[in-house]
Structure 1
C-alpha cells in the first residue's frame, strides 16, 4: 500500500503511542495546583502543538497570569513521571514493523525530544526510526511544515516522496504544507 513512497513519517502521540490519556492526566494534576481547568475539546484541537503553546491556551482560558513556558515545564515533568509506566503502542506500530528495513522512517512529534526518545527507547521502538524530530528541534511547529521537512532531510528523502501518518488536524496541515501525502489515522 505504501510502496510508492521512499520515506514514512509518523507522528508519535496518538498515532503510534497511546499517550493522550497520560498527557490529560498530567495536565489535570498540574493545573489542579493552580485551581485551573482545561477544556477537552480545546485541548484536542491543539493536538500536535508544543506543550508551551497548549499552556498559553490554557492560561488564557483560565484568565491566569502564569508563564506558559514554566507551566509547560511542570507539565513535562509530570508526564515524565507517568509515561514510562502507562504508555503502550497503538496498532499502527504494525505498519512501522512491516516497513522496517524496507524504507527509511522517522518520527515527527510535538513532544519534547527527551520525552520522545525516552518513550521510544523504553518501548523498544527507537531502532525502527532513522530520525526523531521533536518540538525542541524546530522553530516553527505544526501546522508549519518544519517538523516533517526536517524528518525528510534527515532520512535523505525528497518531501514529495514521503507519507505522513497523523492523528491531528495541525499535523495533517503540516504534512500538506510540506508537499507530502498524509494518512489521517483517525479514519483507519
Structure 2
C-alpha cells in the first residue's frame, strides 16, 4: 500500500503511542497546584503543539501570570514519571514493523526529544527509525512544515516522496505544507 513512497514519517503521540491520557493526567496534576484548569476540547485542538505552546494557551485561558516555559517544564517532569509505566504502542506500530528495512522511517513529534527517545527506547521501538525529530529540534513547530522537512532530510528522501501518518489537525497541515502525502489515522 505504501510502496510508492521512499520514506515514511510517523507522528508519535496518539499515532504510534497511546500517550494522550498520560499527558492529560500530568496537566491536571500540575495545574491543580496553581488552581488552573484546561478545557479538554481546546487541548485536542492543540494536539501536535510543543508543550510550551499548550502551556501558553492554558495560562491565557486561566488569565494567569506564569512563564509558559516554566509551566511546560513542570508538566514535562510530571509526565516523565508516568509515561514509562502507562504508555503502550497503538495498532499502527504494525505498519512500522512491516516496513522496517524496506523504507527509511522517522518520527516527527511535538514532544521534547528527551521524552520521545526514552519512550521509544523503553518500548523497544527506537531501532525502527532513522531519525526522531522533536519539538526541540526545530524553531517552527506544527502546523509549520519544519518537523517533517527535517525528517525527510535526515532520511535522505525528497519530501515529495514521503507519507506522513498523523492524528492531529496541526500535523495534517504541517504535512501538506511540506508537500507530503498524509494519512489521517483518526479515520483508519
Matched, 1:103 2:103: yes
Please name the residue that 1:49 is paired with.
49
Structure 2 runs not aligned, ≥5 long: none
Q: How does 1:104-123 map to 2 (within 5 A)?
A: 104-123=104-123
Structure 1 runs not aligned, ≥5 long: none
**Cα-Cα RMSD:** 0.2
CA displacement at 1:58 relative to structure 2 = 0.2
Q: How many residues align?
A: 188
CA displacement at 1:25 relative to structure 2 = 0.1
Please name the residue that 2:13 is paired with.
13
User: How high is the TM-score relative to the length of structure 1?
Assistant: 1.00
User: How high is the TM-score relative to the length of structure 2?
Assistant: 1.00
Q: Deviations over 1:70-113 (max 9, x none)?
A: 00000000000000000000000000000000000000000000
Secondary structure of the corresponding residue to residue 15 of structure 1: coil
Q: How does 1:29-178 map to 2 (within 5 A)?
A: 29-178=29-178
Q: Deviations over 1:99-131 (max 9, x none)?
A: 000000000000000000000000000000000
Secondary structure of the corresponding residue to residue 65 of structure 2: coil
Q: Deviations over 1:5-33 (max 9, x none)?
A: 00000000000000000000000000000
Moved over 2 A (4+): none
Q: Deviations over 1:110-166 (max 9, x none)?
A: 000000000000000000000000000000000000000000000000000000000
CA displacement at 1:187 relative to structure 2 = 0.4
